[in-house]
Every structure is written in C-alpha cells, then in structure tokens.
C-alpha cells in the first residue's frame, strides 16, 4: 500500500495512440474513392500508421513545447539570423518531406491524381502536427508561380520536389532538398497589399534574369529558415513578384535580417518572423508590375491547404472526442451512450465529413487544371472551401474540447492535444486571405462567366438525393443574383458551401449522413449550436461510421 493512497484513479480514458489514421477514417476513404477512383491508397495507409504512432506523437508534443528560438548573433557578435528548432521539429519536417507533402506532386508525370493523393496525406499529417505544415505547404504552393522565372524554376524544381529534407543553410546547389516561403504582408496592410512600401531597384541581369535590390520589411514572414522566398516589392513598374534566396549563388548570405519571432496564440512549432531587407538581391518572377496576380498563384494553393488542414484538425478533434466519450462514464453509462452527447458527436461527425468531402473535391480540381470545368470548379471552390471550412473550425474545436470536459482545456506539458487543436484553428481562417477576403473573392469568381455553370454541373448528380438539397440547388441561381453584393458575400458563400457539401455527401456518404446533413444544414431543422439535430436522426449509423476504430 503506497504511503499516500488517498484514492484510486479510475474512469480516466486511455490516450488515443498507435492507430492508423487512414484506416480508421471512413469519410476520407470514401471521398478518396470518389475523387480518385483508381488511386492506390498504400502510401496513405503507411502514412496513417506513422502519423498515428506514439513515437511521432511524442515528436509533435516536443516540437510544440520546445518552441523555435531566434539567434540574431553568434557569440563573437557576428549577425547570423538563424532560428534554432528542437530535433523533433526536424523529425516532423523530414517525415512530411519523405511523404511527398511538399513539392512532390509537381514532379509526377501527367495523369493520375498526385494532388488528391498529396491532399489526403496532408490531412493525415495535420492530425499529427499542423504547424510544421506551414513551410511544407508554401513549398508545395510555390511551383506554379515560380515557373514565372523559367531559369530559376529549372534549377530549383528538382530540389523543391526531392524527398530529402535538408535543413542546412547552404547554397541550394549543395543541398539535397529545399523549402520556400513567401512575404507579402507588411505592417500597414496584409489583405490590401497595394499598400506595400518595400521597394526594389533594378540591378542588372544574369543567368536568373533581371536582378533587383530590395529594401523594406515584411511584418509576417513565416518559416524564415526556408531557402528562398517569393516577395512583393515595388519596382518602377509597380508591385512585382521577386525570388529572394537566403544564401546567394556565391555562398554569401543575402541581406535579410530577422528582427524577431512572433509570439503566437498557436502554431507553436512553426517560426513566424518579422524581417527587414537591406539591398537584398532578388530576381524578377513573371512580368514586372504584375506581382500580385503572380504571387496569388502561390496564395491559391495555400488556400487549398488551409481547407485541407482544418478538415484534418476537425477529424482529429472528432476522433479524440469519440475515443474519450466511449470510455468516460457519467450518470451510469459511457458518455457516448448518453442521448444528448450522441447528438453533439453526430453533429460534429457530419461537419467533419462534409469538410473532408469539400476539401478533397477541391484538390481534384488541381489535378486536372487543363480541363475547363475542373479549372472553373477550382476557381469557385477555393474561396468557398477556405471561407467555410476554416470558419467552422474554431466552433468545432470548442465543441469537441467540451466533450472532454475539463481535461479538454488542460495542456499538461503539451499532452493535451485538444488544447493545441483549438489554438491552431483560427489561423487557417486568418492567413492566406481572411474570411471577408475569401467571401469577396467568391464574388469575383462568380463574375467570371464559367463559375455559375460549373456550380450547376457540380450539383446536378445529387438531384433527388434529398428534398432540402433539391430546393437549395434550385434556388441558388436566383440567390446568387440577389446576393452578389459585398454586404451579403458571407451569406452567399455559406449557402453555396452548404449546397456543394450536401451534393458531395449525396455521392460519397451513406443515407444517414446525407439525410441528417441536408435536413439540418439545408432544411432548417437545426439550431445554432452543435448538438441540435432532430430526434429523427439516425445517430447509431452516423456514430458507427465516425468511430476511430
Ligand atoms: C501565424 C501567421 C503567420 C503568417 N505568415 C505569413 C507569411 O509567411 N507571409 C505573409 O505574407 N503573411 C503572413 N501572415 C499574414 C496574414 O496573411 C495576414 O495577417 C492576413 O492576410 C490579414 O492581413 P492583415 O493582418 O494585414 O489584416 P488586415 O488586412 O488589416 O485585415 C483585417 C480584417 O479586415 C478584413 N478586411 C480587409 N479588407 C476588407 C474589405 N475590403 N472588406 C471587408 N473586410 C475586409 C479582413 O478579412 C480581416 O478580417 C501570417 C499571419 C499569421 C497570423
């Protein structure tokens, strides 16, 4: 008998570790079959096992507890501008690069579904650790824009797509793999980048094309240890997109100073910095004075990742909530068997599955960019998915946390994963174009001819699946006409998102999910908090599908 045996510890659930995140995610598997029918899921099964393993989860905890530190100078006083990470950060980065979540799809020969495969992998990895995916996402996103400078793109592409993670600060020619970031946001404006004051002065030309000297700052500059960045700066012709490496081809360091690291709410393992450039060397990408549309090619791809990332976080939060409530007993039975808790969990399961279906459908658009319909779908669904999925994330995270009661709110040296998820949720809604900017972008997409037709085409296969969905689809063209004004842009984005989610579920999910989703989100049989589904809902079927085992 221990000396201080005051009580026995019981009714505390076991942690959710050593599960295969892919094999236990039926919604993801069905969405994958729908969007990439011939795809071999073997790599995802492998990644699902790795990402759910106790060993990798320990890395995720450590990388979030031992956060990055800025070293501005060495001990002799030389300026070094380096960020030091815990070894677990590097272990996570190496695993993400090894899984091909960065540039690898761009190296795939035509055909197949490399972007859908990578999107599913990105969701799985998010369940392990989302913040290191910031540089991974930017490295994935940069390729379409970087092609605006064919000489740089030709030399850097093999390293951007390589599956070797190489964190050393060296000229790119000596590295086995590289990562890239982006710098748009300045102190006086992030959404409205036309206010950028950073300037670039022409400095001749070389093998990489027209060279400039950049002076100014960036107020948010994530993952400053990347090997290079696309930045916006004003040349004589206006805002231009420039390629700015950290180490110059001759091996010297470029004139980029990291002022400090941001003290963020979440996203702790990732370093986000403030930087200044003092005559930093950079090379023109695309047309001079057309920098915004050029760098937005990168922004568009990162918006896809915001939707994928939030979908992954939702699935993780749902799995944790289900796992906990299955084991935790209150008032005589497991919480999972309490009728009102079943309503909350089923409602979360619907939201999670709808997010997965929408985000993966969007990814399919990027696999077939040469197809006019798919290009129009990608244009339409990018702002919708980024707006709606990410907007739902924080409310979702709060409700899932509450399923764990007080334990959900406790961090305990990084072991309380739910708290980490909750702190991460808002960032996907803010960066890469905050909610209003996405809703306004939807208006722009709808003005561009093909979008309304693409939307009708997407909804058509679901006709007859549910009366509420049919009504919503029939009303949408008129709603788009009525609401295509700035003041109602969020209402419109919400209505389009829900109709598309309903139509996708009708093609990928079992009837219980489709009925409950359409009745609640489209038919008005729902309240304003999660857990307000009708008593007619088939809770058993929805929960059995969502359980993480
Ligand atoms: C952790 C983190 C990391 C980041 N990393 C990077 C990075 O690596 N590189 C980079 O360039 N940026 C980065 N950002 C910056 C991010 O992209 C911006 O914060 C974001 O684009 C919003 O810009 P802002 O902060 O200047 O806000 P503002 O532009 O001032 O916007 C404030 C609010 O006003 C709304 N708004 C703006 N215009 C309108 C309008 N016309 N109508 C209605 N509402 C409007 C916005 O939706 C937003 O809600 C990062 C941000 C965070 C939080």
Per-residue pLDDT tens digits for 306-315: 999 999 999 9
Q: In ligand 1, which atom is closest to the CA atom of 184? A: 11
Evaluate if residue 75 carries a pLDDT over 90. Answer: yes
Q: Which residue has the tokens 């935790």?
A: 328
Query: In percent, how much of the chain has pLDDT > 90?
Result: 94
Q: 39: Cβ below 6 Å to ligand 1?
A: no
Helix, strand, coil abundance in the chain, percent, nearest 5: 55, 15, 30
Q: In ligand 1, which atom is closest to the CA atom of 222? A: 8
Confidence of residue 58 (pLDDT cuts 50, 70, 90): very high
| Residues 515-530 pLDDT 10s | 999 999 999 999 999 9
Asked if residues 63 and 92 have their Cβ atoms less than 8 Å apart, the reply is yes
| Residues 155-199 pLDDT 10s | 999 999 999 999 999 999 999 999 999 999 999 999 999 999 999
Ligand 1: which residue has its CA nearest to atom 41?
Answer: 437
Phi–psi pair at 317, nearest 5 degrees = -65, -40
Ligand 1: which residue has its CA nearest to atom 32?
Answer: 191
What pLDDT shows up at residue 482? 84
What pLDDT shows up at residue 192? 97
What mean pLDDT do residues 246-272 have? 97
Nearest residue to 90 via CA among 177, 161, 159, 167: 167
Dist CA 393 CA 431 (whole Å):
14
Dist CA 516 CA 530 (whole Å):
13
Q: 267: Cβ below 6 Å to ligand 1?
A: yes
Evaluate if residue 1 carries a pLDDT over 90. Answer: no
Nearest residue to 105 via CA among 283, 358, 368, 321: 368
Phi–psi pair at 244, nearest 5 degrees = -125, 105
Dist CA 307 CA 388 (whole Å):
8
What pLDDT shows up at residue 2? 60
Range of weakest confidence among 24-38, 100-114, 234-248: 100-114
Evaluate if residue 378 carries a pLDDT over 70. Answer: yes
The tokens of 252 are what?
Answer: 């010297």
Q: 185: Cβ below 6 Å to ligand 1?
A: yes
Q: 137: Cβ below 6 Å to ligand 1?
A: no
Asked if residues 549 and 24 have their Cβ atoms less than 8 Å apart, the reply is yes
Of residues 126 and 103, which shows the higher confidence score?
Answer: 126
Dist CA 440 CA 486 (whole Å):
6
What pLDDT shows up at residue 89? 98
Nearest residue to 469 via CA among 451, 493, 496, 488: 496
**Is residue 534 within a helix (H) or strand (E), and if so which, with residue range?**
none
Confidence of residue 109 (pLDDT cuts 50, 70, 90): confident
Q: 188: Cβ below 6 Å to ligand 1?
A: no
Question: Concatenated DSSP letters for 66-112?
Answer: S--EEEEE-TTS-EEEEEE--HHHHHHHHHHHHTT-SSGGGGSPSSS
Evaluate if residue 361 carries a pLDDT over 80. Answer: yes
CA 287 to ligand 1 centroid distance, Å: 25
Evaluate if residue 265 carries a pLDDT over 70. Answer: yes
Nearest residue to 200 via CA among 188, 209, 210, 190: 210
CA torsion, ordered 407, 413, 419, 421, to nearest 10 deg: -130
The rounded Cα 126 to chain-centroid distance in angstroms is: 8
Nearest residue to 124 via CA among 266, 39, 27: 27
Query: In percent, how much of the chain has pLDDT > 70?
Result: 100
Q: In ligand 1, which atom is closest to the CA atom of 430? A: 20
Of residues 484 and 541, which shows the higher confidence score?
Answer: 541
| Residues 469-518 pLDDT 10s | 999 999 999 988 887 899 999 999 999 999 999 999 999 999 999 999 99
Beta strands at 209-222 and 272-285: parallel, antiparallel or unpaired: antiparallel
Dist CA 186 CA 549 (whole Å):
46
Measure the CA angle with vertex 201, ends 199 and 205; round to 5°: 135
Nearest residue to 275 via CA among 338, 229, 335: 229
The answer for residues whose C-beta is within 8 angstroms of residue 399's C-beta and 6 or more apart is: 344, 348, 529, 530, 531
| DSSP assigned state of 448 | S
């Amino acid at each position: 008998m221990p000396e201080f045996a005051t009580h026995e510890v019981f009714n505390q659930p076991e942690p959710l570790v050593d599960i295969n995140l892919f094999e236990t995610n039926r919604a993801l598997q069905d969405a994958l079959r729908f969007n990439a029918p011939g795809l071999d899921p073997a790599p995802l099964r492998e990644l699902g096992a790795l990402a759910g393993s106790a060993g990798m989860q320990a890395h995720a905890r450590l990388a979030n507890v031992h956060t990055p530190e800025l070293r501005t100078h060495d001990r002799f006083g030389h300026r070094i501008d380096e960020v030091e990470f815990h070894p677990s950060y590097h272990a996570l980065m190496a695993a993400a690069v090894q899984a091909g979540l960065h540039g690898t799809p761009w190296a795939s020969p035509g055909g197949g579904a490399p972007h859908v495969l990578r999107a599913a992998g990105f969701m799985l990895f998010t369940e392990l650790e989302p913040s290191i995916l910031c540089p991974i996402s930017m490295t994935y996103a940069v390729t379409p824009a970087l092609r605006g400078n064919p000489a740089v793109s030709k030399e850097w592409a093999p390293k951007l797509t390589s599956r070797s993670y190489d964190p050393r600060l060296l000229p790119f020619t000596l590295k086995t793999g590289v990562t890239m970031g982006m710098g748009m946001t300045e102190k006086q404006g992030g959404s409205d980048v036309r206010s950028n004051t950073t300037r670039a002065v022409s400095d001749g030309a070389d093998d990489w094309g027209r060279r400039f000297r950049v002076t100014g700052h960036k107020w948010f500059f994530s993952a400053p240890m990347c090997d290079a960045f696309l930045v916006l700066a004003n040349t004589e012709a206006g805002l231009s997109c420039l390629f700015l490496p950290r180490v110059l081809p001759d091996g010297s360091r470029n004139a980029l100073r990291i002022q400090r690291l941001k003290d963020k709410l979440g996203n702790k393992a990732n370093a986000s910095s403030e930087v200044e450039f003092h005559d930093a060397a950079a090379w023109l990408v695309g047309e001079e004075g057309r920098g915004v549309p050029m760098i937005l090619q990168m922004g568009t791809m990162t918006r896809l990742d915001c939707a994928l990332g939030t979908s992954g976080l939702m699935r993780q939060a749902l799995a944790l909530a289900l796992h906990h409530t299955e084991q935790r007993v209150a008032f005589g039975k497991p919480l999972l068997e309490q009728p009102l808790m079943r309503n909350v969990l089923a409602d979360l399961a619907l939201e999670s599955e709808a997010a997965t279906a929408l985000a993966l459908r969007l990814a399919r658009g990027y696999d077939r960019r040469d197809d006019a319909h798919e290009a129009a779908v990608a244009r339409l669904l990018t702002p919708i998915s980024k707006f709606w999925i990410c907007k739902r994330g924080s409310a979702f995270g709060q409700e899932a946390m509450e399923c764990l009661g007080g334990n959900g709110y406790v961090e305990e040296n990084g072991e309380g994963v739910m708290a980490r998820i909750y702190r991460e949720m808002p960032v996907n809604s803010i960066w890469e174009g905050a909610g209003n900017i996405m809703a306004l972008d939807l208006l722009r997409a709808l003005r561009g001819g093909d979008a309304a037709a693409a939307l009708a085409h997407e909804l058509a296969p679901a006709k007859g699946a549910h009366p509420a969905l049919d009504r919503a689809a029939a009303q949408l063209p008129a709603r788009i006409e009525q609401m295509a004004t700035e003041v109602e842009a969020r209402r419109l984005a919400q209505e389009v998102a829900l109709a598309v989610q309903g139509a996708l579920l009708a093609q990928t999910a079992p009837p219980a999910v489709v009925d409950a989703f359409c009745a609640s989100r489209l038919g008005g049989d729902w309240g304003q908090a999660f857990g307000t589904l009708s008593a007619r809902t088939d809770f058993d079927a929805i929960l059995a599908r969502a359980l993480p085992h």
